[in-house]
């Protein structure tokens, strides 16, 4: 049985949900960061699946854009994480609940 579109979508949904739940329950900044990456890639998977299904290349273009953005975001995000760690000696997001340092 050839793989159906719905399989990809279901997998993507599962990955996305795991990402969401991870962001919600994890306190460690790096774990949250990885969960966000997971969500982005779940979306990428749907793009690719639809692209293949509709025989349209646009979806794959979007994947590249998302990957670029994700790379930039990773750079900025990691920079922020390091800054937070330096000031607070902690990677727990709940410790960074005020705007003040």
Partner 1 sequence: MLRYIIFAPLAGAAINWLIGRRVRNERFIGLVACGSVGISTVIGFYLAFKSNGALRSTQPVMDHLWTWIQVGDFRADFGLAMDRLSGIYVLFITFVGFLIHVFATGYMRGDTGYYRFFAYLNLFMFAMLTLILGDNFLLMFVGWEGVGLCSYLLIGYYLDKEEAAPAAKKAFVANRVGDWGFVMGILLLFWMTSGAGAPSISFFDKPGLTSALATVAHMAPESFALHMLWYGGITSIAILLFIGATGKSAQIPLYVWLPDAMAGPTPVSALIHAATMVTAGVYMLARCSAIFTRAPMAMFIVAIIGAATALFAATIGLAQNDIKKVLAYSTISQLGYMFLACGVGAFTAAIFHVMTHAFFKAQLFLGSGSVIHGMHHEQDMRRMGNLRKYMPITWLTMCCGWLAICGVPIWAGFFSKDEILWKVWVAGPFSIPAGAAKALWFVGIVTALLTAIYMTRLMVMTFWGKERFNSGHDAHGESHADDHHTVTPHESPWSMTIPLIVLAVLSTVGGLVGVPYAISSLAGGHPENYFEEVLAPAISTVPATQAAAGEPTKLHWQSPPPQEVDGKPAVAPVGEAPGAANSHETPNPQELNEERLLALVSVLIALSGIGIGWVMFQRKPLRAMPRLLENKYYVDEIYDATIIQPIEAGSREGLWKIIDVGAIDGILVHGPGEIVKRLARTLRYMQIGFVRGYAAIILAGALIIIGYFAYNGAHVLRFLVR
| 86 near partner 1, rule: CB under 8 A | no
x/- mask, partner 1, residues 4-23, rule CB under 8 A, reads ----------------x--x
Binder to partner 1 among 1, 24, 57, 101 (CB under 8 A)?
24
DSSP 26-87: --BHHHHHHHHHHHHHHHHHHHHHHHHHHT-THHHHHHHHHHHHHHHHHHHHHHHHHHHHHH
| 91 near partner 1, rule: CB under 8 A | no
Question: What's the first-to-final CA gap in the chain, in angstroms?
Answer: 57
| 96 near partner 1, rule: CB under 8 A | yes
Q: Cβ 54 to partner 1, closest distance in Å?
A: 16
Site for partner 1 in 39-58 (CB under 8 A): none
């Amino acid at each position: 049985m050839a793989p159906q579109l719905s399989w990809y979508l279901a997998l993507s949904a599962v990955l996305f949900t795991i990402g969401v739940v991870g962001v919600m329950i994890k306190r460690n900044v790096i774990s949250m960061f990885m969960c966000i990456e997971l969500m982005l890639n779940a979306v990428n998977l749907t793009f690719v699946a639809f692209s293949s299904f509709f025989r349209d290349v646009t979806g794959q273009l979007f994947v590249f854009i998302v990957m670029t953005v994700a790379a930039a975001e990773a750079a900025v995000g990691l920079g922020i994480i390091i800054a937070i760690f330096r000031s607070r000696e902690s990677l727990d997001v709940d410790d960074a609940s005020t705007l003040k340092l």
